[in-house]
């Protein structure tokens, strides 16, 4: 099989995009919260969150535009059709912005 293949797996619709919003929102909040309280545990927190989000989101938690593009280049069960990438990336960007706003409120920096 070729290394790069265009995926044919359709992933579109409000449910998929909402899943990506939730996955990305939670990932940003997880990273910021862990960075504020246990910076040494960021890698573990991210790995645990992505593993869980794979199961609790309808989109299987791409949560990252780079991952989304890479999965468009793999015609497997985990792929995404190139035509569906813009919707996922838009949901991820909105989720990231909302997650950053929530994280700033939930985990404010304490002045020294």
Distance, CA of 6 to CA of 93 (rounded, Å): 23
Inside any domain, residue 3? no
Which pLDDT tens digit goes with each residue over 59-81? 888 889 999 999 999 988 888 99
Decide: 11 and 80 in contact? Cβ < 8 Å.
yes
Q: Quick one: pLDDT band at residue 87, thresholds 50, 70, 90?
A: very high
Inside any domain, residue 7? no
Evaluate if pTM is beyond 0.75: yes
Q: What is the CA radius of gyration of the chain?
A: 15
Inside any domain, residue 77? yes
The domain total for the chain is 1
Distance, CA of 35 to CA of 109 (rounded, Å): 11
Is the pLDDT at 101 greater than 80? The verdict is yes
Inside any domain, residue 4? no
């Amino acid at each position: 099989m070729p290394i790069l293949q265009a995926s044919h797996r359709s992933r579109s619709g409000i449910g998929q995009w909402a899943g990506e919003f939730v996955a990305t929102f939670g990932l940003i909040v997880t990273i910021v919260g862990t960075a504020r309280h246990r910076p040494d545990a960021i890698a573990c927190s991210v790995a645990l969150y992505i593993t869980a989000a794979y199961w609790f989101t309808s989109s299987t938690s791409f949560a990252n535009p780079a991952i989304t593009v890479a999965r468009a280049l793999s015609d497997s069960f985990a792929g995404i059709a190139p035509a569906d990438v813009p919707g996922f990336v838009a949901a991820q960007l909105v989720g990231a912005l909302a997650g950053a706003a929530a994280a700033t409120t939930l985990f404010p920096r304490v002045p020294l």
